């Protein structure tokens, strides 16, 4: 079993949550909302291409729109392999956190 990276995990989760609106700009904005970091397009696009090539994601082109100067938007969705990878990584995280009790600190 190949393990996905933390960044790949985050991208797969965001794409799952965005459902039919999972395209680069929305993915980037959701990542910023969650992490507080605004990443370069290339920093997000490269793992998206890798995840698509490795069959964790499926990419499809939407219709061209005048808003984008006639260019189409590339939409992403998880494949069965993508969902399996998320399930595997969640199970791994659960095993790590199973017996962890963190001390409560008042600030």
Location of structure tokens 């095993």:
95
Location of structure tokens 């985050």:
10
Q: Which CATH class is domain 6-94?
A: mainly alpha
Summarize pLDDT for 43-102 with one digit per residue, the tens.
Answer: 999 999 999 999 999 999 987 777 656 788 999 999 999 999 999 999 999 999 999 999
pTM assigned to the model:
0.86
Closest to 51 measured CA to CA, from 20, 22, 94, 21? 22
Does residue 57 contact residue 76 with C-beta atoms inside 8 Å?
Answer: yes
Domain positions in the chain are: 6-94
């Amino acid at each position: 079993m190949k393990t996905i990276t933390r960044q790949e995990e985050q991208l797969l989760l965001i794409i799952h949550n965005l459902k039919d609106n999972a395209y680069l700009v929305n993915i980037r904005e959701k990542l910023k909302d969650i992490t507080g970091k605004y990443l370069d397009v290339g920093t997000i696009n490269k793992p998206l291409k890798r995840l698509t090539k490795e069959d964790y994601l499926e990419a499809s082109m939407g219709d061209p729109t005048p808003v984008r100067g006639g260019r189409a938007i590339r939409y992403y969705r998880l494949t069965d392999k993508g969902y399996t990878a998320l399930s595997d990584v969640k199970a791994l995280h659960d095993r790590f956190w199973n017996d962890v009790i963190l001390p409560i600190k008042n600030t």
